[in-house]
Structure 1
Amino acid sequence: MIASFDVDAQRTFTPLCPGELPVPGGDEIADELNAQAALADLRIASKDAHNPNAKWVVARHDQMLQPLDHPDSDLTWVRHAEAGSEGFELIPGLPAPEHYDFLVYKGVENHMHPYGACYHDLKERISTGVIEWLRYRQVNTVLVGGLALDFCVKTTALQLAKAGFKVYLNLAACRAISDDGAIEACRAMVEAGIRLVDNAGELALQLQKDA
């Protein structure tokens, strides 16, 4: 069984919400995510679901990425992806949430800011349930894309690989906050055994080859 994972493909990480965390081109990945999902038996998604009183919130973008002395919030960020806001919504072109087979909402607690979709905490102790659900559905392969490549996508892919799934990362279905971050993310994923592919077309060929 194959599952396709849309990681945090939300408006908050696109130019549609310029005051939040806009990733260049973040609103352009829906077609690739949909093409990727067409290769899978199941489709799952994660969404940041934050609140305005989070301990990691700062007022300005130039105050971001400062270290925090909290066990489950390691860096400062501006407000983003608050439940009920425009930024919380999935990017245009993706299915409505009710059309997915499984949904993960993360970062709900105001002192917790996880990146990966598989655990609520940075120490990876409190499961979101997605790994267990994938195992229950007898999934062995996960196709990953979303936002942003150098944070939540990378961490989710690494968590899935560590859990024993064969993971493919569709680069065309991702965008990164920075070029340097993307390079480092790709290096870490390759070292973990994750297969990087350029687009859904190449992914289809690779899945056939590896079958």
Structure 2
Amino acid sequence: MMKIDKSTTASFDVDPQRGFTPLCPAELPVKEGDQIADELNAQAHFACYRLVSKDNHPANAPWIANQADEIMTPVSGDYPGLDIKWPAHCVVGTEGNKLIPGLPDQGDYDLLIEKGQDPLKHPYGACYHDLAESESTGVIEWLGERQIKTLIVGGLATDYCVKTTVLQLCRAGFKVIVNLAACRAVAPETCIAAREEMLSAGAQLIADSSKLELL
């Protein structure tokens, strides 16, 4: 069992949006992505704060793939803030932008982090607005002000936004616990690589929230 001091722990729901689930099949549907709410809710019982991040994307941006064969190909042109192309997803005002069923209303979280609004930037992690990690979203500072030492993390997807957020938090000096039951991945091979990378960065991985125990 992993002992948790609730007074210095926050629970972080990373991008648990419908656009990353089979509820929105035309976006970026991750298998079983809509089935993580119970575990995200369970891990929140071990924390004194609960955070959620969201992709808030525009409808038009250079990184949007207009055809299937463009997906995950490099963005052409002079766009230093972009890497590869993705289908349009989590666009503001659409169904895909909403949180998955079973989670609190976004206004009920202690902190809502919105990212990806700028069409010339496509961040993955929730701690920075840009790939170069030079523009903070404010979450690291917010956690520091509240003397949070431990983060329990889950969300979508393990191999992209969750992994990047975990690495950012580890570099910022937090103890990070990844709840695997509260995550789903895009693909098995990238999921394995993401787990190894998170472990190498110092994160701890647990099978589910039953492995946690309050001090």
TM range (shorter): over 0.9
Query: If the length of structure 1 is used for normalisation, what is the TM-score?
Result: 0.96
CA RMSD of aligned residues (A): 0.9
The equivalent residue for 2:178 is: 169
The equivalent residue for 2:91 is: 82
The equivalent residue for 1:30 is: 37
Of the candidates 97, 104, 112, which is equivalent to residue 95 of structure 1?
Answer: 104
SS at match of 1:133: helix
Aligned AA for 1:80? H
Query: Separation in 2 of the partners of 1:80 and 1:121?
Result: 18
SS at match of 1:84: coil
* Residue 184 in structure 1 maps to residue 193 in structure 2: yes
Aligned AA for 2:168? Q
Aligned AA for 2:154? G
Decide whether the 8 Å contact of 2:62 with 2:75 is kept in 1.
Answer: no
* Residue 55 in structure 1 maps to residue 43 in structure 2: no
Per-residue CA distance 1:144-189 (angstroms, 9 max, x = gap)? 0000000000000000000000000000000000001100000000
Of the candidates 12, 18, 32, which is equivalent to residue 11 of structure 1?
Answer: 18
Aligned AA for 1:86? E
SS at match of 1:77: coil
Offset of residue 68 of structure 1:
2.2
SS at match of 2:83: strand
Could you list the runs of 5+ residues in structure 2 that have no partner in the other structure?
A: 1-7
SS at match of 1:152: helix
Aligned AA for 2:205? L
Aligned residues: 206
Aligned AA for 1:6? D
Residue identity over aligned pairs, in percent, reads: 54
The equivalent residue for 2:131 is: 122
Offset of residue 52 of structure 1:
1.3
Query: Separation in 2 of the partners of 1:20 and 1:40?
Result: 32
Decide whether the 8 Å contact of 1:61 with 1:77 is kept in 2.
Answer: no
Could you list the runs of 5+ residues in structure 1 that have no partner in the other structure?
A: none
